[in-house]
Structures are given as C-alpha cells and as structure tokens.
Structure 1
Amino acid sequence: MAIEIILGLPHLANGPILQRAVALQAPVLISANCLSRWRKADGWREWSGWRTGTLANARPLASVDLDSAGYTMMVRYGGLPWSIADYMALAASWPFRRFSSVDYCCEEGVAHDREEVLDRIARTTATNRECFARAGDLGIRDRLMPVLQGRVPDDYDRSLDAIGGLILPGAIVGIGSMCRRPVHGREGLIAVVERLTRILPIGVKAHLFGVKGDALPYLTPFARWIASIDSQGWGVGVRQHALKHRIAKTDALAADFMERWYRTQCARTLEPPRHMSEAASPSPPPPTADPWECAIAQARGEIRALIESDDLDHDEITTGWIEQWAAEIYADAA
C-alpha cells in the first residue's frame, strides 16, 4: 500500500485553500494553533481558548487529523500556551480521524544539546501518558496517536520503551522531529526509519511529521511500516514565489501551489524506490571523570525519571534545580 500524503492546512477558513483541498479529496492535518483564540493583555498576546466554529467548514473534507502544535510554538512561546486538558477538550469536540499526543520536539532550534534532548524525551513520555489517560476518560482513545521523540535513532528506542504500553494494537504512532531532518546521515530520516522497522510492534505503523517530498523515494522501501507523512511545504513555495515576483500571496495563489505540490508528492510515491543503508550509530562520548559533571548528569537523570513517573509535571521548570540537586549528590559522595 502506498504511503498516504496528508496536506497540512494553515486554517479552515471557507475560501480557495479549503475548497481546493475538498476538490482534491485529500486527507488534511491542522495544528491546534490554527483554532486558537488570542487576545492582547498588557501588550502581550495571550491565549484565550479555541475557535471551533471553523470546524464546521471541514465537513466536506476527506478526513481531518489534529496536531498538538510543536516546533513553531516552542520557538515562539517557549512552550504550549494551553494545558493538556484544554487540548484534549478540543480533540473531543469534533470527529477528527486521529489526533496526536502532546509532545516536546527535539530539533536543534529547540533542544540545543544532548541533555536537553533527553529532557524533552522524558517530558514527551509524561505528556503521552496524560493524553492517554484523558483520552480514555473522554472515550476517544481509539483516535489518539502517541508520539515518539528524539534526535538519533537510539532515542526513538528509548521513547518507545517508555510508552510501549500505551500503543494499542494496529495503532499509528507519530514520529516527531522529522521536518528539519536531512534524509541522509547518522541522524538522518532514513537512519531513524530503518530503526523503527526493527522496533515497532507488529501491526503498528508510523506517521512521519513534516517530511518533505524529496525523501519519498527513499521511504518507499519502508511503506509497510509507514502509514503516512504530512507537510505544509507548499506554503514555503508560494511565499518564495510571491516575494520573487513581488505579488500578493493570496489564498487563490496558495491553492494553486498546494494542488501542484500535492499531485507531485502523490506521483513521487510511485517512483522506483531508492535504497540507502542506515549509517552506523556514533560512539557514545566517554564518561566524564570530573565528579561535579558526574553529579550534574546524575541529577538530570533523576529529574527525568521523576517526570516520566509523573512525580513531576511535564512542564515543570527544572533548570534552576539541577545545580542544587547536583550539589547534594556531590556532597553525599564526598
């Protein structure tokens, strides 16, 4: 079966973009942020709830998936402005085909070092668990898409091990931090996908968030493990075209670019597959011999364990605790 191409839509306003998506009968994905209501308070934008009225416009679409919003929100606001309870209420308010768990993306623009990547994987474990529990209470667990996070292939092993009990038979699992990832290399898209083929439970498939179309021929050999990809890459193309030609970026122009992009991606799924071996995993750095650095590493690990076990909230600010925590470990070892 071919990999499904899902169109990322910027909004659900009744206009050329939505009408073209309906005409194409393409499955679509929207971010929770496109349904957000904002207000200005003391000169700052403040989230004030959901605008669910535009969901009525989505009824003629082939299907609609909901994403919790990730990279852009993390960069712009440093985190999600809504709670998991808010997000799950939105997920339950309309018959989305599936909705992703809240997660903490691990792209370099957000997670600047290895420790931050591990911290965000731990927080993603906690958000998956809370979403799973709330989905059960709301009766929508069958539509929940758990999300794995990481930077290198081993990270996705770690993430899957932590939430394996939340993945229902035959489920689709979201694979995060894909959209800015190169196709090749030790941390590349194919290295991660090859690892997934070895670790995903039988019958479980992956949805790859934000994968660009030029990767599709390399993904074709793994189609039995990949249910779908999504992208709003067409939006970049129309923006560049409008700037180059000094014309307005209208929704009518965007709809034309979107259709061409979608048809091109669908055609790419039929191209001959290209094969590439997984790059060897990099050797882990040697353990530090410095007692203080060892204490810092141990403190981070203990804090992550508390987040994963729900003894600390997933959005708890822990940066200021690490040195104090490490100081106690250091003193005990002295």
Structure 2
Amino acid sequence: MNGETMGMPVGQVNAILDDELVMRIGIPHRGGRLAFHAFAQDYPAMVSANAFWNPTKREFVMPVATDLTEMDFALDSAGFSAMTLWQRKGRQAGIAGVYPWTLEQYLEFANQCGARWHAVPDFCCEPQIASNREEVDYRVNATATMLESALRLTYEWQNKLARSMTAREVANMIKPVVPVLQGWDRDSYLRSLDLTMQVWERWQPWLAPPALIGVGSVCRRSLNHPTHGLYAILSGLEGRLPKGVRTHLFGVKGSCLAELKMMDWIASADSMAYDFGARVKARESGVSNTIKHRSSEMSRWMSAASARLRPAAGDQFRLSLTH
C-alpha cells in the first residue's frame, strides 16, 4: 500500500471541473452510432441513467463495448423520465415509488459506469408534473431528503471499504454525488439551495464543499420571465452560492449560451435540443430521421453552440457575487 494507512477519506470533491464552460451533448442511448459520432467528434456528453436500465431484468446494464467508456460523459439521474413514467403507469418499484430503480442500484451503477460525475436522484418541478406551489415545495423537500439519503449510503459503503483499503482507494471506488437544485420560480430555487447546503455541511469534513451543484428543470422555461425565467433564477442564485461553488445547468436553450459564458460560476450545461430539432426537420422535409440525419444535426447544433461560447468583442464578464 506504499505506506498509506487504511481509513476513511476526508475533504472529498464531488467533481473535477474544467476552467472553461463545458457544453455537454445529450446522448439518448448507451452506445451505438449516435454515441460513436459524439466520440469521433470529441464532444463531452450527458447520458441519462434511463438509457442503461433494463426494465425486464430490473437492473442497470452496461454494454460490453460502448464508445461511452472512452468519452467524457456525466450521468443524469433521469428524474423527468421517472416522473413521467410514474404519471403514466403509477407507483414504481424503486425510489419513493417514482423511480423504477432503488437508490442502491443507481449509486452502484453510477460508480461503476465510468461517468466523470453523477447527479443525485431528484424530483423535478415542471408545471406538467408540479402544478401548484404545494407540489413544488414537496419536490424541493424530497430532493433535499434524497441528497441526505445518497450521502448517508455513500458514507456507509466507504466506511465498510475503509476496513481493508486505503483512504485513496476508497475515494476512488465510491464518489459523492452532485447535488441538484429544484424548483420553479426564483424563491423555490433559493430554498432548495439553502436545504442542499444544510444537508451537505452536516457531512463535512468527510466531504469538501461541493465543487459542482446541478440546477434542474431549466429546459422547459422561458429565458426572461421575471420570476421563473432562467435569467431570474440564475440572478438569484448568483448572490447566494457559497464561494467556489459552480453549477451545471440541465437542459439549456442554445440561444442563452452567449450570456451564460460570461458567468464564471457556471461550469457546464447540457442539451438534447439537437435531437428534437432533427425530428422536426425530418417530419417537415418528409424524410426519415436516420442516425445520419441526427448525427448531422448534433454537429450543426454543437458548432453553433461553440460559436456562441467563443469570446467576442463587447463581452462583459460579470464579477462574481458569491461570498
């Protein structure tokens, strides 16, 4: 063991981040030609846990061969997919009767699949799922409770491993989750942040302060609404995030990237917009939505996103308001 002692790691970081804003392209599959195209183009990716779930076997399945293992990809907990499945089919066998998998199954897979980081299972707040304030509040509370459960389980697993492994080996095998903020308007997101930090701080110094926190439920909203628009939410979070914390935005419109690049506390974002656009264009043109067509739309979307993220004359990078 090279002189290292057995024991629990301390000060663990939940994500290793790049300095620049990273745009992750959504991959709806666990492999195949669409993933190969992203790999060939060297695109960072976001993959939903749902892509790996086998409902017949009731377990996660990682392909023996997939280009994802050679890529920089992060793992989304598939909260929106789980909620829509629950709405359509009723109570599920997993987390809170909403997810089809248990927390243990998800965290075990997340730590074995090779993802750069993995998001905590959350409870999304889009209007078609949470139609009033009480439902939003419930999902904000449930998301914080899920973070507590995930950290408690991670601690238990690490504590068992620490009996026969060094702290470094333990930390490399089981990594802490990336918390996710939920809500619909600015105030509910700020309450979610407060709850998240209350949970996280109870687990320090076993954990370092979170390097990365996700911001969920942002893809189906306007940009400029004064209370629940994306910019209103980000403006509220900007002054409340603890010093050094950066964020990942789950599902963003490409049109906002020129603004987001000037917020240095946003580490990354992801989008599946190219795939929706591919379906629309194929239908309007009367052609098949082939993998070749979808791959072409992926490249077109990422090229436009890269152009928006490049420095441009007149950019005014905002001073951080975090404290």
TM (norm. structure 2) is 0.77
Of 179, 182, 206, the residue aligned with 1:146 is 179
Count of residue pairs brought into register by the alignment: 266
Alignment of 1:19-98 (within 5 A): 19-39=36-56, 48-53=58-63, 56-61=66-71, 63-78=72-87, 79-98=98-117
Q: Distance in 2 between matches of 1:260 and 1:143?
A: 35
Q: Is the 8 A contact 2:32 2:66 kept in 1?
A: no
- Asked if 2 retains the 8 angstrom alpha-carbon contact of 1:75 and 1:109, the reply is no
**Residues 180, 215 of structure 2: 8 Å contact kept:** yes
Counterpart CA distance in 2 for 1:67 and 1:89 is 14
Match of 1:326? none
1:5 pairs with 2:23: yes
Is 1:166 matched with 2:200? yes
Verify: 1:201 aligned to 2:242, yes or no.
yes
Judge conservation of contact 1:31–1:67 (CA < 8 Å) in 2.
yes
**What is the one-letter code of the residue matched to 1:28?**
A
For the pair shown, the structure with the greater C-alpha radius of gyration is 1
Q: What letter matches 1:218 in structure 2?
A: E
State how far apart, in whole Å, the 2-side matches of 1:130 and 1:231 are.
Answer: 28
Compute the displacement of 1:68 (Å): 0.5
Deviation at 1:60, TM superposition (A): 2.3
The superposition leaves residues 179-238 of structure 1 with CA deviations (integer Å, 9 ceiling, x where unpaired) of 11110012110111111111111111010000110111222332x110000011100111
Relative distance call for 1:73 and 1:170 in structure 2 (3 A) is: closer
RCO higher in 1 or 2 (8 Å CA, sep ≥ 6)?
Answer: 2
Which residues of structure 1 form unaligned runs of 5+? 40-46, 277-334
TM-score (norm 1): 0.75
For residues 122-177 of structure 1, give each alpha carbon's deviation from its aligned partner in whole angstroms, at most 9, with x where no partner exists: 10011111112223325466452111111111212211211214273351100011
1:188 to 212, 215, 229: 229
Does the CA-based 8 Å contact 2:246-2:265 persist in structure 1?
Answer: yes
Aligned partner of residue 127 in structure 2, secondary structure: coil
Equivalent positions of 1:131-142 (< 5 A) are 131-136=150-155, 137-138=157-158, 139=171, 142=175
Match of 1:327 in 2: none
Q: For residue 275 of structure 2, what is the aligned residue in structure 1? A: 235
Alignment-mate amino acid for residue 14 of structure 1: G
Query: Which aligned segments of 4 or more residues in structure 1 are displaced greater than 6 angstroms?
Result: none
Distance 1:274 1:80, change over 3 A: farther
Alignment of 1:217-236 (within 5 A): 217-222=258-263, 224-236=264-276
Distance (whole Å) between structure 1 residues aligned to residue 129 and residue 316 of structure 2: 31
Deviation at 1:263, TM superposition (A): 1.2
Q: 1:54 to 1:181 in 2, by over 3 A?
A: farther
Letter matched to residue 108 of structure 1: P
Matched, 1:212 2:271: no
CA distance in 2, matches of 1:187, 1:181: 8
Conserved? CA contact 1:190–1:218, under 8 Å: no
* 2:128 counterpart (71, 93, 109): 109
Cα separation, 1, equivalents of 2:302 and 2:268: 13
Contact between 1:216 and 1:268, CA under 8 Å: does it hold in 2? yes
% identical equivalent positions = 31
Q: Which amino acid aligns with 1:73?
A: A
Q: Deviations over 1:43-71 (max 9, x none)?
A: xxxx711121256431222x110011022
Superimposed CA distance per residue, residues 265-309 of structure 1 (whole angstroms, 9 cap, x where no aligned partner): 111112555899xxxxxxxxxxxxxxxxxxxxxxxxxxxxxxxxx
Q: Equivalent residue for 1:262? A: 302
Between structures 1 and 2, the one with greater helix share = 1
